[in-house]
Amino acid sequence: MNMLLIFGSATAAKRVEKTVAKYGVIAKVIHTPANISKSGCSHSVKINEKDFRDVVRVLSNSDIKILGAFKEYTVSGKTLYKEMII
């Protein structure tokens, strides 16, 4: 399963993508789905669920603020999201 980490800007999301790549984590910047967006035009970084805790730990030592975290899953062909506590 995948996780989406929400950030306030495309710039912050790109910084996260580059930062976590240094630790071997594959990440992809996407527009945050409207139904989970914390602000108008936020961006998210999609990562594998297994990397979630490591990414949160790495970002806790940076000035980049995670606005939200969601687990992505599919039910009957529909993508759903469950908010996670960081």
Q: Give the model's pLDDT for residue 3.
A: 97
Tokens of 33: 């789905």
Q: Can you tell me the mean pLDDT for 67-81?
A: 95
Instruction: Kindly list the distances between the CA atom of residue 43 and the CA atoms of 5, 8, 48, 78, in Å, as whole numbers in the listed order.
Output: 8, 6, 17, 21
Whether pLDDT at 40 is above 80: no
How many domains does one find in the chain? 1
Whole-number pLDDT of residue 77: 95
pTM of the model: 0.91
Q: Looking at residue 45, which CATH number applies to its domain?
A: 3.30.70
CA-based max dimension of the chain: 39
User: How far apart, in whole angstroms, are the C-alpha atoms of residue 35 and residue 69?
Assistant: 13
Which residues is 32 bridged to in the sheet?
A: none
- The whole-angstrom separation of Cα 53 and Cα 6 is 15
Give me the domain span that covers residue 11: 2-83
| pLDDT tier at 86, thresholds 50, 70, 90 | confident
